Amino acid sequence: MTLLELKDVTASYGPVQVLDGVSLSVPEGGSVGILGANGAGKTTTLRAISGTVRTGGTIRFDGRDIRGLRSDQVAALGIAHVPEGRGTLGQLSVRENLMVGAYLRKDRKAIETDIDYCLNLFPQLQDRVGSRAAALSGGEQQMLAVGRAFMAKPKLLLLDEASLGLAPGTAKTVYQAIRRLRLDSGIAMLVVEQNANLAFSLVDTATVLETGRNVLTGTSAELKGMDEIRRAYLGG
Amino acid sequence: MGTFIQLVVDGLATGSIYAALALAIVLVNQATGLINFAQGGMAVLSAYIAYVFLQLGLPLILAILIAVALSFVFGALVERFLVRRFERGDPDTAVVVTIGLLTLVTGISAVLWGYNNLAFPSLFPLTSVEILGAVVSVRSLATAVTIVVIMVILQLLFLRTKLGLALRAVADNPASAAFSGLPVGRLLMVGWGLAATLGAIAGVLVAPQLTLTPGMLDTALVYALAAVILGGLNSPIGCVVAASAIGVLENLVAVYIPLIGHDLKIAVPFVLIFVILILRPQGLFGRKVVVRV
Amino acid sequence: MSTADATARRRRVRAVLAALAAVLLVAAPLILPAFANQTLVRIGVYAVAVLGLNIVMGYTGQVNLGQIFFVGLGAYVTAYGVNHDWNILLVFVAACAIAGVAGLLVALAAARLGGLAIAMVTIALPIVGVPLAKRLSEFTGGSQGISARFTDAPDWSGLANDQWQFYIVLIVTAGAFLLARSLVRGKYGRAFAAVRENEAVAASMGISPYRTKVLAFTIASIFGGASGFLYLAAVQYTSPETLSFGHSISLLAAMVIGGAGSIAGSLLGGAYYVFVPQLTNSIDPNLTTVSQGAILLAVLFLLPGGLVSLPRAVRRLTRRAAPRRSTAQTAPETSPQTAPAHRPVPDAAPEGHEQTERQDGP
């Protein structure tokens, strides 16, 4: 069952066209990666889905056309976007950030259980529950951002450059936690990542973008094997 | 001593009016990133609306409640249709828009009710009570207490309710808040609506004393802005403290320093500002904000 | 025709037009009736004030709500000097200098604050100024105000009073405009624009935002003082009412409506200040404020560059009317959700809102 489908999606910021026909699909519970060099349009693809950029083409989620919806409407449908730069609500505490994630939910008890789960998943956050989120380190903020997205109990998680600015060890920890999250909850994921190794640890299939277009699509196994491709697009 | 206490209590009352306006300004600034110079003007219009209902025969408290409720709607509509375009953009441009709004609102008040001073009844009895040997105006006490109570309620709203959490999230990072499903536009309207009600309450409480006229809160706005500068734009508590201090200080200076007297007491907060801010540019309570390029 | 030729031709045309305008301006008062001269004089007075405001607000992006204070200050200094028989040139210099020093002091403190603090502090200037003017009655004549006549035409000129006044105002106004023009076209103009765009970036380029703001504000005050001198030359009377808060806002509105960040726009702003309130007052004095607010908002929404940008806007509209869907892009039905923080182009006030098409809706 296809959960998310993009067909020939175009996107532009004003007069500048960034996406020139991107297609991909994410099956229910599946995990797909978007790879490519800087400026290829990876982040813009996620933005096209969550409604933060002008788009053309087809974007269908759960069978319905979601192109043209506002970000909060897209979120209400079950898509949680962890943006590039994390989008932490700096002035709010860690706990409040997680509560905001659960904004659209009404099941108070389950929300508490999920907060506990998050803190379990990211033990580094346990001591910082009351701290202002802006005071956290980059890695902790990334974990918090993922946790906040999870709190919405989404069907699809959009992860944008989760390793950006993190030390390799921290990035690995974050990805390990996200892997565990996927196993526990079966959330589908669309992962934008410049670090190919990290990406392949999380996704089943991936598509490679170059100047706003797909140039290669395949399973992780297939893509991992292509040495030249790796060197040219994925930066090892 | 008696005079002193009287002056302090009266000062706290006027200070609470400044505090309400200052808090409204801070609220709007935190939510939408701009300073609303029309905050006082909007409050005056709300007081006029209460006046209209009074003329229609409604009891004072009802007229006030209706006017305050309508001011919420007014504030929300102003955000949606007038200000939204200019939010998160160049704040200086947005300020000019609010100045245009101030002119417009003052003008509307002038067209509908003229420039004459209209009498507005006091919600509180005009009696006095004895405290520590001083004769203190009940109205002053009640005004100060009312506004403090309302501000406490607002703080509780912000810190303890889901709506308050949502308002704070949207003020912090609206794009990111939207990713969690928060209806950003609607919440901004609520923020402006709340600020407008704060202003309206201040307006109807001070109208009996100042008499209703289109420019009634012009001076109060100036004091409120001084309080915001002194207290720091991101510290509601700082603003309230600063506003109260300004209210008390202006009264004391007017009486005890006749050289300054009543006509020049408005200069006092600004002299204060000059002095304090040379030493501490972020205000007494504010935090230094790092601007990322 | 190459672009170099076109530019040279344009420059020649402009020079001819400028020479023609100069001739016209010198000849005008001799031909026009006294009333017309007086009106033009008043336009000049306020144009200089608006020009000063434009330098600190339109070009450097600092909202200044106190410009009228410096106009009033200049007028009072002028009245004092004239009534004490100072040399007229000295009076002019004093008006500009004292206003400038006052502006400098205010700016030194206010510019430290950054952000909208300058707006919030300058609002106090007219509000404190009025009672102050009433208080210092030995200098200011108190609430009654003070009159001073010094622009009666001398016998040797053979001119009428209004014509003489016209020339005085013309000289000062022209001087102010030329000075402003060379200022904004030079390195200071670039510093102003840089600070307006982004202070942090300006700082990294070696431009001190603080110093630039202080400079701009001081220049604005000097222009304000000059305007005050002209005001007294024309009106021959000043009072605390001159520097009231209402007038301060009117001046700001005039600047925006004329054209923020534009030299020519300042002239239009002066004209607006003279004509429009007069017009609305004659219809109904209570209407003046509301119509001013409405016009200001209308300009901010529909024509952010002010009246001076009207020809440009009309040109853009007519260009858009012509069909131009050359890109085979499907009509974008969606629009950006978040409005990125747009910094206005230095030449005009808040433009660029065409890009900021948010999907609105509660």
User: pLDDT per residue over B117-154, tens digit each?
Assistant: 998 988 888 888 887 777 888 888 888 899 999 989 98
Query: pLDDT at residue C9 above 50?
Result: yes
Whether residue C297 lies within 8 A of chain B, CB to CB, comes out as: yes
Rounded to whole angstroms, the Cα distance separating B164 from B178 reads 15
Q: Is the pLDDT of residue B221 over 70?
A: yes
> What pLDDT is recorded for position B138?
87
Give the tens place of pLDDT for each residue, C167-185. Answer: 888 889 989 999 998 988 8
List chain A residues with pLDDT less than 70. 227-236
Higher pLDDT, B87 or C153: B87
Q: Which residues of A touch B176 (CB under 8 A)?
A: 83, 87-89
Q: What percent of chain C has pLDDT over 70?
A: 87
Chain B contact present for A88, CB below 8 A: yes
Q: What is the pLDDT of residue C322?
A: 59
Q: Is residue A215 in some structural domain?
A: yes
- ipTM confidence: 0.90
Q: Look at C117 and C59; give whichever has higher pLDDT.
A: C59
Q: Does B177 touch chain A (CB under 8 A)?
A: yes
Count Cβ neighbours within 10 Å for each residue of B204-232 and write b for 16 or more, e otherwise: bbbbbbbebbbbbbbebbbbbbbbbbbbb
- B contact test, residue of C286, C287, C291, C343 with most B CBs within 10 A: C286
Does the structure show a pLDDT above 50 at C317?
Answer: yes
What residue numbers bound the domain in which A31 lies?
Answer: 2-86+155-234
Distance between A160 CA and the closest CA of chain C, angstroms: 18
- Picking from A53, A58, A59, A69 by the largest number of C CB atoms within 10 A of its own CB, the best residue to mutate is A53
Q: What whole-number distance in Å separates Cα of residue B106 and Cα of residue C286?
A: 10
User: Which pairs count as long-range contacts for C296-299, CB under 8 Å and 24+ apart, including other chains?
Assistant: C296/B96, C296/B99, C296/B100, C296/B103, C296/B104, C296/C253, C296/C256, C296/C257, C297/B82, C297/B97, C297/B100, C297/B101, C297/B104, C299/C256, C299/C257
C337 and A17 within 8 Å at the Cβ level: the answer is no
Q: Which residues pair with A160 in a beta bridge?
A: A192
Q: Write the single-letter amino acid at C268.
A: L
β-pairing verdict for A79-82 and A188-192:
unpaired
Does A202 map to a domain? yes
pLDDT for residue C215 is more than 80: yes
pLDDT-derived band of residue C282, with 50, 70 and 90 as boundaries? confident
Domain boundaries, chain C: 38-243
**Interface contact flag, C119 B92, Cβ < 8 Å:** yes
Does the residue A230 lie in any domain?
yes
Residue among A54, A59, A67, A74 with most chain C CBs within 10 A, to mutate? A54
Among A16, A18, A70, the residue to mutate for chain C (most C Cβ within 10 A): A70
The enclosing domain of A193 has a CATH number of: 3.40.50.300
Please give the share of chain B, as a percent, with pLDDT higher than 90.
51
Distance of CA B115 to the CA centre of its chain: 22
pLDDT at C84 over 50: yes
Domains held by chain A: number: 1
User: For residues C53 and C261, is the Cβ–Cβ distance under 8 A?
Assistant: no
d(CA A54, nearest CA chain C) in Å: 5
Is residue A218 in some structural domain? yes
Each residue of A209-231: pLDDT tens digit? 888 888 888 888 888 777 655 66
Taking CB atoms and an 8 Å limit, are C121 and B222 in contact across chains? no
Q: How confident is the model at residue C4 (pLDDT cuts 50, 70, 90)?
A: confident
Nearest chain B residue to A85 by CA distance is B176
Chains that touch A (3 or more CB pairs under 8 A): B, C
Question: Is the CB of B59 inside 8 Å of chain A's CB atoms?
Answer: no
pLDDT score, position A231 = 64
Over the stretch C258-281, which tens digit does the pLDDT of each residue have?
988 888 899 999 999 999 888 888
pTM of the model: 0.85
pLDDT per residue as tens digits for the range B6-51: 888 889 999 999 999 999 999 998 888 888 999 999 999 999 999 9
- Report which DSSP code applies to C307: G
Instruction: Give the type of residue at B5.
Output: I
Mean confidence (pLDDT) of chain C? 81
Min mean pLDDT across A24-28, B278-282, C339-343 is at C339-343
Determine, yes or no, domain membership for A110: no
* Of the partner residues B89, B103, B264, the one whose CB lies closest to the CB of residue C289: B103
What pLDDT was estimated at residue B292? 40
H or E stretch including A4?
strand A2-13
Residue at A78 is within a domain:
yes
* pLDDT of C341: 36
Q: Is the pLDDT of residue C337 over 60?
A: no
CB–CB of B178 and A71 under 8 A?
Answer: yes
Measured distance CA(A191)–CA(C72) in Å, rounded? 64
Give CA separation, B259 vs B92, B161, B262, C81, C276, in Å.
36, 49, 9, 27, 41
Return the pLDDT at C345.
Answer: 35
Say whether A71 and B183 touch across the interface (CB within 8 A): no
Inter-chain contact A10–C329, Cβ cutoff 8 Å? Answer: yes
Of the pLDDT bands very low, low, confident and very high (cuts 50, 70, 90), residue C95 is very high
Whether the pLDDT of residue C153 is over 90: the answer is no
Q: Is residue A196 part of a domain?
A: yes
Residues B163-202 have pLDDT tens digits of: 999 999 999 999 999 999 999 999 999 999 999 999 999 9
Q: Is A188 among the domain residues?
A: yes
